[in-house]
Chains A and B, each alone.
Chain A
Amino acid sequence: MKSAILQTATRYLLPILLLFSFFLLLRGHYYPGGGFVGGLVASIAFVLHSFANGTEATMKILRYKPLSLIPIGLGIAAISVVLPLLFGLPAMTGLWFEEPIPVIGMIGTALFFDLGVYFVVIGVVLTILFTIALEE
């Protein structure tokens, strides 16, 4: 499926789609979007890239195995679950910075949690697809 047009296109599409997926993640708390959708869109970006350039090339861009994203994501989510315990609050209590940060907006544990979900989803989808694709 290697076509020059697709290869050139993905060179630009990959960063744009990744940016878009991050945008979906950040706005998830206020508008439609969130960690699941964001992660899925990011995975689609990589899958598209792998279709155009071959899975090995995509793995090279990723540098690490997608499998390693899963523990990272689970870890981030778990930290945001237990973080309130350090402040003497029940687990999963939402903690927020008082003032919104430019571009990103309000930052809190919920966003952090969503970030964990985002990474897990990318890790899971890419692990599944790339293991299958590499086995062919």
Chain B
Amino acid sequence: MLFTVLTGLITSSLLIPFGKFIKTKWSILLPLIPVILFLYYLLQLPAVVLGSNYLQHVNWVPSLGLNLDFKLDGLSLLFALLITGIGSAIFFYARSYLKGHPYFDRFFGYLLLFMSAMLGVVLSNNILSLFVFWELTSISSFFLIGFNNDNKDSRNSAITALSITGLGGFFLLAGLILMGNIADTYIISDLVSRREVLINHRLYPVVIGLLFMGAFTKSAQFPFHFWLPGAMKAPTPVSAYLHSATMVKAGIYLLARFTPALGNTQYWNTTLMIVGGFTMLMAAIHALFRTDLKAILAYSTIAALGMLTFLLGMGTTEALIAASVFILVHALYKATLFMVTGIIDHETHTRDITKLSGLRKVLKPVFIAALLAALSSAGLPFTFGFIGKDLIYEATLHYQQNWQIWLTALAVATNIGLVAAGFMAGIKPFTGALPQEYEQTHLPPISMWITPLILAILGIIFGIFPSITGDYFSHQVANAIAGQETNLHLKIWHGLNTVLILSLTTLAAGTVVYLFNKPSETKLAALERADKFSARYVFERVTDRLTIFAKWYTDLFHNGFLRSYHFRIILAAELLLGYKLWLSGPIYINFDQLTPLSWYEVGITLILLGALYIVVTTKSRLTSVVSTSVIGYAVCLLFVFYSAPDLAMTQFTIDTLTTVLFVLVLYKLPPFINLTSRKVLVRDAILALGFGAILAMIALRILYEPNTTEVSDFYGENAYLLAKGKNVVNVILVDFRGIDTMFETVVLAISALGVYSLIRLRLKSSEKE
């Protein structure tokens, strides 16, 4: 399984050097990647249907408990098939959609990255690697939403999406780690056996709260839903892939994955039902007032995600079965509708449903695909949507007493909205009279319309043979979510019962709503005024304030004056070091241990201090340079006194060369001018003396500490015995620590190259001028 995750990552990075070949001749290779992966997962199907799980364990960072554990069960397989299957369709589609786009290769690089990350999320059996892949989906989605990066709206949407999902990821990480620590395992499949510990822990509400934050942000649940309509700025293949079928379902996947371990408690069920229920109703109503095709689809997607959250929240076996089927139903028809929208947009350059009509005459195969998808979304009998809707009503009707009526009413209301929204997106643009301006519209290449058509037809096939679908796909999914045998068997005909009546009522009511609801700009504007109180408004206010704060902070601290940075850094260092020194108590000096004082040292020190004074005060550059070299020579003499001949020689030669260098360069520069007021000079002097004093005190403190010389003794004793050298300093440099010296010479070489190129390259460019 690891290879399937790696394939996308590797090919994605290969696109950097080889992108230009892929762009033109070899672009057909790109869709083959998801197709191959899809076939691989299809081959795993027979084994998984029988209930076996496939585990893979690769050590990564064992010391941190961070390993690549993968597990393939029904739930993972369904998502893996969706990711690679719909991925294949999208890749074929996008290849035509973006033909000739200058960043064609970049787009597919992001898309492959996303696909790998998504596969990683659904296959991970380790909560930490799950999180890593989870974040990777957010990041790749950021790039895909902002793909048209010359568009300001597009960039803003990308940032909004990243901040919302990133914020959620942050909470998720906290929740996952907390959960791992409570359960004492990071392996997801082991969490189930620790269920009792987890749900009885006093931090259980915190754990699931954090987990919900991650899932709700990713799956666009209220109040974090607003990033999804914004994300529709992405190219349509991206919307179809990420924002309908795969990424937004990662939150649902997360909830489903942890249901056996954490689910079915009061907290879990109530929260999910309230949030899911509210989201689905609100989004379904919103969808009806949109005029942009993609916005309609975005809101109906939010409604569908709300429905899934709601079903997972109910937590009964029937509800979980309904959820496991509805994931597939929704992915099939929503991806189709998105791709259809993309074709319409691509050919007519508008997505406004008040303008579009009659396109069936010019885009016949597209119309068929759209119609089938819309019918499936409406839940017409003999479509897959019908099965899904049946199961949802069955679940709500069989919920505990007192609640069933309300829950059913909620589901019916949402579904009415979804039926109408599906018709608006799938049927409205194709019916009626064809306006003159669209008469020239022509059918796009077959690779663009064949994929939505296939998906739409699949929706019908699955609907006609529900038992096959149920046995092969949904049964093990429901088992994985429920954590037990669910005996799922899908049937097309349940007899004439309440469920069927509800289904038909929904269909009829939805059609009525579709016929009488005429979305318009004015209605939309009225709705958007109500948005003032929504989370989006709050989010925008917060980000505005943050930007203002950041600007204020930057202006205050990053004023562009190097000396003020230095001042702050040194001041902070002084405060910290000073505090630490103050804590460590008084400083003692052991006079017995000091080496005796000689007059030479005093003389040299005086010379050094004199030169230091001149460097600080002089106005002449040459004097300051000469004084610096005097300091160097004085230090060199000190090295001689204290038994460091090698140092003395090196210091002497380097000091000479540095002086030569300075003189070569600085000879012509004008003298220093005093630019600063006396007050500032005094302030700086105090700061500087303070720093020197603190460093000196640290040195004294270390001197008082007992000396451990194990390492030095080793070098001293073994210099000749092991390395046949008698000058220990040299032996350390060329033998014991030879690799360090090797790289030191490399650093020197780099600095020489830097100097060389800095001078030579500039010469050339100035010659050009």
**Direct contact between the two chains A and B in their complex (CB within 8 A):** yes
Chain A residues near B (Cβ < 8 Å): 24, 28-37, 40-41, 43-44, 47, 67, 70, 73-74, 77-78, 81, 92, 94, 96, 106, 108, 110, 113-114, 116-117, 120-121, 123-125, 127-129, 131-133, 135-136
What are the residues of chain B within 8 A of A33 when measuring CB–CB?
A: 646, 649, 727, 730
Q: Does B660 contact A (CB under 8 A)?
A: yes
Q: Is the CB of B745 within 8 A of A117?
A: yes
B651-696 interface with A by 8 A CB criterion: 653-654, 656-657, 660-661, 664-665
Q: A31-B727, A47-B657, A124-B751 are in contact. Are A40 and B742 (CB under 8 A)?
A: no
Give the CA-CA distance A67 to B665 in the complex, in Å: 20
B694-741 interface with A by 8 A CB criterion: 722-727, 729-731, 733-735, 738-739, 741
Give the CA-CA distance A70 to B724 in the complex, in Å: 27
What are the residues of chain B within 8 A of A136 when measuring CB–CB?
A: 664
Q: A40-B653, A44-B656, A129-B660 are in contact. Are A110 and B735 (CB under 8 A)?
A: yes
Most buried by A among B654, B724, B748: B748
A-B CB contact pairs (8 Å), 23 listed: A28-B734, A29-B725, A29-B727, A30-B726, A33-B727, A34-B646, A35-B734, A36-B733, A47-B660, A108-B724, A110-B735, A110-B738, A113-B734, A113-B742, A120-B748, A125-B752, A127-B753, A127-B755, A127-B756, A128-B661, A128-B751, A128-B752, A128-B756
Q: Does B759 contact A (CB under 8 A)?
A: yes
Q: Is the CB of B727 within 8 A of A34?
A: yes
What are the residues of chain A within 8 A of B756 when measuring CB–CB?
A: 67, 127-128, 131
What are the residues of chain B within 8 A of A36 when measuring CB–CB?
A: 650, 733
Q: Is the CB of A31 within 8 A of B650?
A: no
Q: Is the CB of B748 within 8 A of A124?
A: yes
What are the residues of chain A within 8 A of B741 when measuring CB–CB?
A: 113, 117
Q: Is the CB of B724 within 8 A of A29?
A: yes
Q: Is the CB of A40 within 8 A of B763?
A: no
Q: Is the CB of B734 within 8 A of A117?
A: yes
Q: Does B645 contact A (CB under 8 A)?
A: yes
What are the residues of chain B within 8 A of A31 when measuring CB–CB?
A: 726-727
Q: Does B524 contact A (CB under 8 A)?
A: no
Q: Is the CB of B657 within 8 A of A40?
A: yes
Nearest opposing residue in chain A for B757, CB measure: A131
Looking at the assembled complex, report how far the CB atom of B647 sits from the nearest CB atom of chain A, in whole angstroms: 9
Q: Does B32 contact A (CB under 8 A)?
A: no
Give the CA-CA distance A26 to B751 in the complex, in Å: 26
Give the CA-CA distance A70 to B722 in the complex, in Å: 30
Q: Is the CB of A32 within 8 A of B738?
A: no
Q: Does B749 contact A (CB under 8 A)?
A: yes
What are the residues of chain B within 8 A of A29 when measuring CB–CB?
A: 724-727, 730-731, 734
Looking at the assembled complex, report how far the CB atom of A65 sits from the nearest CB atom of chain B, in whole angstroms: 10
Q: Is the CB of B755 within 8 A of A106?
A: no
Q: Does B746 contact A (CB under 8 A)?
A: yes
Looking at the assembled complex, report how far the CB atom of A82 sits from the nearest CB atom of chain B, in whole angstroms: 11
User: Sorted from nearest, which 7 A-B pairs have the closest CB atoms?
Assistant: A40-B653, A32-B645, A29-B725, A124-B752, A120-B745, A34-B730, A127-B752
What are the residues of chain B within 8 A of A128 when measuring CB–CB?
A: 661, 751-752, 755-756
Q: Does B563 contact A (CB under 8 A)?
A: no
Q: Is the CB of A132 within 8 A of B661?
A: yes
Looking at the assembled complex, report how far the CB atom of B727 sits from the nearest CB atom of chain A, in whole angstroms: 6
Q: Does B202 contact A (CB under 8 A)?
A: no
Q: Is the CB of A37 within 8 A of B646?
A: yes
Q: Does B760 contact A (CB under 8 A)?
A: yes
Main secondary structure of the interface of B (DSSP, over half): helix
What are the residues of chain A within 8 A of B763 when measuring CB–CB?
A: 135
Q: Is the CB of B660 within 8 A of A37?
A: no
What are the residues of chain B within 8 A of A108 when measuring CB–CB?
A: 724
Give the CA-CA distance A33 to B727 in the complex, in Å: 9
Q: Is the CB of A92 within 8 A of B739?
A: yes
Q: Is the CB of A44 within 8 A of B749?
A: no
Chain B residues near A (Cβ < 8 Å): 645-646, 649-650, 653-654, 656-657, 660-661, 664-665, 722-727, 729-731, 733-735, 738-739, 741-742, 745-746, 748-749, 751-753, 755-756, 759-760, 763
What are the residues of chain B within 8 A of A81 when measuring CB–CB?
A: 738-739, 742
Give the CA-CA distance A30 to B729 in the complex, in Å: 10
Looking at the assembled complex, report how far the CB atom of A88 sits from the nearest CB atom of chain B, in whole angstroms: 18
Looking at the assembled complex, report how far the CB atom of A104 sits from the nearest CB atom of chain B, in whole angstroms: 14
Give the CA-CA distance A116 to B749 in the complex, in Å: 12
Looking at the assembled complex, report how far the CB atom of A41 sits from the nearest CB atom of chain B, in whole angstroms: 6
Give the residue of A37, A121, A125, A133 whose beta carbon is less than 8 angstroms from that of B649.
A37
Give the CA-CA distance A128 to B752 in the complex, in Å: 6
Known: A28-B734, A77-B742, A132-B661; 16 extra A-B contacts, CB below 8 A, are A29-B726, A33-B646, A33-B730, A34-B730, A35-B734, A43-B653, A44-B653, A78-B742, A94-B723, A110-B724, A113-B735, A120-B749, A127-B753, A135-B759, A135-B763, A136-B664
Nearest opposing residue in chain B for A67, CB measure: B756
Give the CA-CA distance A114 to B744 in the complex, in Å: 13
What are the residues of chain B within 8 A of A44 when measuring CB–CB?
A: 653, 656-657
Looking at the assembled complex, report how far the CB atom of B338 sits from the nearest CB atom of chain A, in whole angstroms: 57
Nearest opposing residue in chain B for A91, CB measure: B739
What are the residues of chain B within 8 A of A113 when measuring CB–CB?
A: 734-735, 738, 741-742
What are the residues of chain B within 8 A of A67 when measuring CB–CB?
A: 752-753, 756
Give the CA-CA distance A98 to B723 in the complex, in Å: 13
Looking at the assembled complex, report how far the CB atom of B649 sits from the nearest CB atom of chain A, in whole angstroms: 5
Give the CA-CA distance A133 to B755 in the complex, in Å: 12
Looking at the assembled complex, report how far the CB atom of B167 sits from the nearest CB atom of chain A, in whole angstroms: 49
What are the residues of chain B within 8 A of A127 when measuring CB–CB?
A: 752-753, 755-756
What are the residues of chain B within 8 A of A131 when measuring CB–CB?
A: 755-756, 759-760
What are the residues of chain A within 8 A of B661 when measuring CB–CB?
A: 128-129, 132
Looking at the assembled complex, report how far the CB atom of A50 sits from the nearest CB atom of chain B, in whole angstroms: 10
What are the residues of chain B within 8 A of A47 when measuring CB–CB?
A: 657, 660
Nearest opposing residue in chain A for B737, CB measure: A92
What are the residues of chain B within 8 A of A35 when measuring CB–CB?
A: 733-734
Nearest opposing residue in chain B for A92, CB measure: B738
Give the residue of B656, B660, B725, B752 whose beta carbon is less than 8 angstroms from that of A123.
B752
What are the residues of chain B within 8 A of A41 when measuring CB–CB?
A: 653
Give the CA-CA distance A43 to B661 in the complex, in Å: 13
Give the CA-CA distance A129 to B653 in the complex, in Å: 14
Give the residue of B654, B665, B749 whose beta carbon is less than 8 angstroms from that of A70.
B749
Looking at the assembled complex, report how far the CB atom of B575 sits from the nearest CB atom of chain A, in whole angstroms: 39
Nearest opposing residue in chain B for A30, CB measure: B726
Nearest opposing residue in chain B for A24, CB measure: B649
Nearest opposing residue in chain A for B723, CB measure: A94
Give the CA-CA distance A33 to B664 in the complex, in Å: 28
Give the residue of A34, A73, A132, A133 whose beta carbon is less than 8 angstroms from that of B734.
A34
Looking at the assembled complex, report how far the CB atom of B668 sits from the nearest CB atom of chain A, in whole angstroms: 9
Give the CA-CA distance A136 to B726 in the complex, in Å: 45
Give the CA-CA distance A81 to B741 in the complex, in Å: 11
What are the residues of chain B within 8 A of A37 when measuring CB–CB?
A: 646, 649-650, 653
Give the CA-CA distance A95 to B699 in the complex, in Å: 40
What are the residues of chain A within 8 A of B738 when measuring CB–CB?
A: 81, 92, 110, 113
Looking at the assembled complex, report how far the CB atom of A128 sits from the nearest CB atom of chain B, in whole angstroms: 5
Looking at the assembled complex, report how far the CB atom of A126 sits from the nearest CB atom of chain B, in whole angstroms: 9
What are the residues of chain A within 8 A of B742 when measuring CB–CB?
A: 77-78, 81, 113
Most buried by B among A29, A67, A78: A29
Q: Is the CB of B645 within 8 A of A125?
A: no
Give the CA-CA distance A92 to B723 in the complex, in Å: 11
Give the CA-CA distance A125 to B745 in the complex, in Å: 12
What are the residues of chain B within 8 A of A121 when measuring CB–CB?
A: 745, 748
Looking at the assembled complex, report how far the CB atom of A46 sits from the nearest CB atom of chain B, in whole angstroms: 11
Give the CA-CA distance A96 to B656 in the complex, in Å: 35
Give the CA-CA distance A41 to B656 in the complex, in Å: 10
Give the CA-CA distance A119 to B725 in the complex, in Å: 21
What are the residues of chain A within 8 A of B739 when measuring CB–CB?
A: 81, 92
Q: Is the CB of A28 within 8 A of B730?
A: yes
Give the CA-CA distance A31 to B746 in the complex, in Å: 25
